[in-house]
Amino acid sequence: MDQTACCTCATLLSQTPRVAPSSSSSEKQRPLPDNRPLDCCGRVICGSCIHKNPRFDTYCPYCQTSSSSTPASFTPRVKEPPSYEDISSVKPPSPVGPGNDEPPPYTTEITSSSSSSDQDENEDEPILHFLNHPNDTIQSLSLRYSIPAQTLRSFNRLSSDHLLLARQTILIPKSQMKMKSLSPAPVNGEEEQIRKNKIRRWMVTCKVHDYDVAVLYLEQAGYDIEAATEAYFADEAWERDHPFPAAGQGNASSSSRETGGAGKWDRVRAYHQQRLNGRVPSTLLNIRTS
């Protein structure tokens, strides 16, 4: 038994009808077209499909080609890709001269573009002015750089003039002028900045808020942060071991009775008295008044 089926409706050719079904009993039955074998792909289209769609009589739905007498320009056909043998047989074009294998260098264009971009950035980059607070104000800077005061405030986001005291530097918009910075370096120099940084580090390490105490410890330690820190904690330990006697205690010294534990300067006098008696460590001469 033939198992060939129609490529469009998948019906076995042995089971396809030979005549077209009639819509009424009075209508005469017509025979269906013959099955059409396709030359392009070897498939078969049954007569029932050709009767329903006459285009299948000249057209292959799989190869999308037509076998009618229409011109080739009206019959689209899918082109097959080229074989690998044809591609491999094509030789690449030989270079015309030596050195043509490498692309041309881009150094000239890159250097020119980078130099132009650097110039643009330098033109737009603001000028840094280190402030000298006793002399520098918004009004004085406005006169010295010939820039409106409101422009300086908005460019540096200063809502009020007194906020300038919290700044160490201020930015001058270069688009407003063509002169250089009148204060290009810190006023007190780099050494002063290093000294202030050490003071801040010591205050944070020892958790001391008194600036004068930090300066005293660091000056006596030669601005050695580790030595000043060790001396401070040694004094703290000594004060915990030798507290000041409170008022009314029986064994209190005459100096402590005079102080009565009331005021700061009384405690200072008691501290000096204990130093004279040799009961205070001689590492530092700091007076703990707190």
In a domain, residue 169? The reply is yes
| Residue 248 tokens, joined | 């009314």
Question: Is 110 contained in some domain?
Answer: no
Q: Please report, in tens digits, the pLDDT of each residue of the chain (290 residues total).
A: 677 888 888 888 888 888 877 766 666 777 888 888 888 888 888 888 888 888 888 888 888 887 754 444 444 556 677 777 766 666 666 665 555 566 766 665 555 555 555 555 556 688 888 888 888 999 999 898 888 999 999 999 999 999 999 888 899 887 656 677 777 777 666 788 888 899 999 999 999 888 888 999 999 999 999 999 999 999 889 888 888 766 555 454 444 444 344 444 455 556 556 655 655 554 444 544 44
Q: Which of 52, 68, 84 is the last residue of a domain?
A: 68
| Last-in-domain residue among 68, 83, 98 | 68
Look up residue 59 and give its DSSP letter: E
- Among the candidates 48, 68, 88, a domain finishes at 68
Residue 134 belongs to a domain with what CATH number?
3.10.350.10
Q: Is residue 76 part of a domain?
A: no
Any domain includes 33: yes
Structural domain harbouring 141: 121-176
In a domain, 162, yes or no: yes
Q: Are residues 18 and 54 in the same domain?
A: yes
